[in-house]
Amino acid sequence: MNYYVEPARQIPVMLQTEVLVVGGGPSGIAAAIAAARQGIPTTLIERYGCYGGMMTTAGVESIAWWRHESTVEANGLAREIEETARKMGATAPEPQSLSQAINAEKFKLVADVMLEQAGVQRVLHITAVDVIKEQNKITGVITESKSGRQAILAQVIIDCTGDADIAAFAGAPFHKRSKEDLMCVTTVFSCSNVNKNRFMTHIKETQPKYGDWGADEENKNWSYDIHDSCKAMFSPYLGKVFAKGKSAGMIPANVTLGGSWSTVTDYGDANYLNVVSIPAVDCTDVLDLTRAEIDGRKQAMQAIEVLKKYLPGFENAELKNFGMTVGTRESRHIIGRCRITGDDICHQGRHADSIGVFPEFIDGNGRLQLPLKPHYFQIPYGSLVPQNVENLLVCGRAIDADDFAYATIRNMGCCIVTGEGAGVAAAVALQSATGVSQVNIHDVQARLEASGVKVF
């Protein structure tokens, strides 16, 4: 690679804040609201024109599709966000669980309202591209936007970029699996002009189940290990239809389509069609992202042709929209003070520095297990604390977790728990004049419990 040496230059300080949250996905929204509710001046910056992260920018609707009668979860902001969205008319019942599916478009408004009510200062269309560091302390970030290159100074920074961008810029250690092992990326799309009655009749007649996942030999790119407890349960899975398309030569040999639908409206919109999987994409590599966007759109159109031909109710379906960005699932995970492991997920891990809980739910790396028992693990604060950098916490899908545990902690509900914990911890640190890595965890836990979070 050739290099160009960028000359040093003076840039304006756009603003100063106490807590700066970078990235407005589920974890970032939660972190910003939690810090602001503790009375701390908080700013949330986001590279796109809306908050919501994968929910609004990729179109991922199902915030808690794993919830059943016995499921134990943290509640707190995770439930509040879902419930506020319901009250604002931005949800519909999710078809396989006791949860609400989020309307990706309307959620943009829900996030605006919740952040405004919490008093969070918001800046959209701005990307953090570097950090300002004094020895091992981060004191701000460098941003790029239509306003040019500017600095934002802060006392605590919470990295909610999903890709641990800030931690990486700051030189904190992280791990990232090889490209071939990373979870696939997906172009989520929605269709209009679907005949809901015909489609739902077909679903009632065929009753797809979790046990069907990856079962069609004609159209298979990995095998699923489905836990016996959920094999016979209903799943909004679309597999057979793509097996037919594959046999008919409508899907290229190197492409595998298959996945799920979510909500279908009375006016004929089928939302959050999650059936495209593009492997070997490093979503911190702009050329990989470019290939994924282009291939993803092409595959989504191939999927629509198959749905029109073989899926009752979709005969006259048309593309309504692609997610405004390809949906990315996995990239960097920090190496923190504590790693969440597969053992934590499967054997109800307990941690003295817990900031909240998440159910024993596994969805990824070819494995599915629903939380049908009241089993849960505790999320250690140490998994948010990066090494070698002060004033920084990392939340959401970039916390420290092994490959197995990652399939669980990447869920939006879990990301929100980490965000809420980080927001409160930042406030405690600032109010007690300590660093976030030495914060009084008992104080953090007490404040979280007072906000309705199940911490232990």
Ligand X SMILES: Cc1cc2nc3c(=O)[nH]c(=O)nc-3n(C[C@H](O)[C@H](O)[C@H](O)COP(=O)(O)OP(=O)(O)OC[C@H]3O[C@@H](n4cnc5c(N)ncnc54)[C@H](O)[C@@H]3O)c2cc1C
- Which residues contribute to the site for ligand X (CB under 6 A)? 22-28, 45-48, 53-54, 57-58, 60, 62-63, 65, 127-128, 160-163, 165, 186, 188, 274, 327-329, 396-397, 410-413, 415
Residue among 244 and 357 whose Cβ is closer to ligand X = 357
Residues 6+ apart with CB under 8 A from 295: 278
The distance of closest approach from Cβ of residue 200 to ligand X in the complex, given in angstroms and rounded to an integer, is 21
Using DSSP bridges, classify how beta strands 91-93 and 100-102 pair: parallel, antiparallel or unpaired. antiparallel
d(CA 185, CA 276): 8
Residue among 81 and 244 whose Cβ is closer to ligand X = 81
Kind and range of the H or E element at 367? strand 367-369
The distance of closest approach from Cβ of residue 188 to ligand X in the complex, given in angstroms and rounded to an integer, is 5
Angle formed by the axes of helices 104-118 and 76-87, nearest 10°: 120
d(CA 104, CA 39): 29
CA-closest candidate to residue 81, choices 58, 52, 123? 52
Kind and range of the H or E element at 79? helix 76-87
Kind and range of the H or E element at 443? helix 441-450
Residue among 155 and 277 whose Cβ is closer to ligand X = 277
Residue among 397 and 447 whose Cβ is closer to ligand X = 397
The distance of closest approach from Cβ of residue 243 to ligand X in the complex, given in angstroms and rounded to an integer, is 21
Kind and range of the H or E element at 427? helix 412-431
The distance of closest approach from Cβ of residue 179 to ligand X in the complex, given in angstroms and rounded to an integer, is 16
Helix ranges, 269-340 (H): 286-310
The distance of closest approach from Cβ of residue 283 to ligand X in the complex, given in angstroms and rounded to an integer, is 9
Measured distance between the N- and C-terminal CA atoms of the chain, rounded to whole angstroms: 50
Residue among 102 and 307 whose Cβ is closer to ligand X = 102
- The three-class DSSP label of residue 438 is helix
Residue among 409 and 436 whose Cβ is closer to ligand X = 409
The distance of closest approach from Cβ of residue 174 to ligand X in the complex, given in angstroms and rounded to an integer, is 14
Residue among 323 and 342 whose Cβ is closer to ligand X = 323
The distance of closest approach from Cβ of residue 275 to ligand X in the complex, given in angstroms and rounded to an integer, is 10
Using DSSP bridges, classify how beta strands 237-238 and 333-334 pair: parallel, antiparallel or unpaired. unpaired
User: Tokens 């009749």 correspond to what residue?
Assistant: 201
